[in-house]
Structure 1
């Protein structure tokens, strides 16, 4: 995958999975052996699906205005991102979470790992990134 392919893949992934919370599309983007580490908690693919379902239960909307930083390494098939997520919860509380994430892709273009650190700017959002 070249830089353009990786950039398109990550943008589509974020739209479908994080913004739309479309759990049905997870297998389109993530390998069966996917591992995610968020704030030092580790999840496998099924646990990641459970995490997204829990997010759907407590979140009304998520949005990302832009990626503040995006660094792509074609040889490593990896992407580093830094961004803020605007969150509106079903209880109408709102706030932002800052996220740093490194994604690694396999040779067929599916995500095999994500290492993520998050910082909620608002107390109401503490722990949401790894709910």
Structure 2
């Protein structure tokens, strides 16, 4: 049976995952954080673990840097091991374009692995080149 995470343990886990996978765009550590049967739905587009790994590799090709604000919203339902986050992502593409995207994400955890994630993304600049960055494939 997987260890149940407390609210503070889940926050530490999610911060590490974001640092390693999103900010560093490191697809080699994804298996450490995500379950083999992982499912993600971003802006209505569903993907599995292999497709998520591909997304991270595509980000590395298109993006020079990603920075994430401190979570402006964090709630954790300990009995069902579900975290809800809201934050801003600052993106600099290799083309030199900069943009910000607001994300709301709900993570379902089993121990120290994410089994499911639902995300909604919204570029903060209308008509932005960053509209599909969260579901780039």
TM-score by length of 1: 0.97
| Secondary structure of 1:66 counterpart | coil
| Pairing 1:128–2:133 present | yes
Alignment of 1:88-107 (within 5 A): 88-106=92-110
Report Cα offsets for 1:38-89 as digits up to 9, x if no partner: 0000000000000111011000000012111000111111100000000000
Q: 1:47 corresponds to which residue? A: 51
Report Cα offsets for 1:5-27 as digits up to 9, x if no partner: 11110010010011011111100
RMSD across aligned C-alpha pairs, in angstroms?
0.7
| Pairing 1:11–2:15 present | yes
Q: Quick one: distance in 1 between partners of 2:8 and 2:70?
A: 17
TM-score by length of 2: 0.92
Q: Quick one: distance in 2 between partners of 1:119 and 1:58?
A: 18
The answer for unaligned runs of 5 or more in structure 1 is: none
Q: Quick one: distance in 2 between partners of 1:64 and 1:91?
A: 20
Q: 2:90 corresponds to which residue? A: 86
Q: 1:112 aligns with which of 92, 115, 118?
A: 115
| Pairing 1:2–2:6 present | yes
* Stretches of 4+ aligned residues off by more than 2 angstroms: none
The answer for unaligned runs of 5 or more in structure 2 is: none
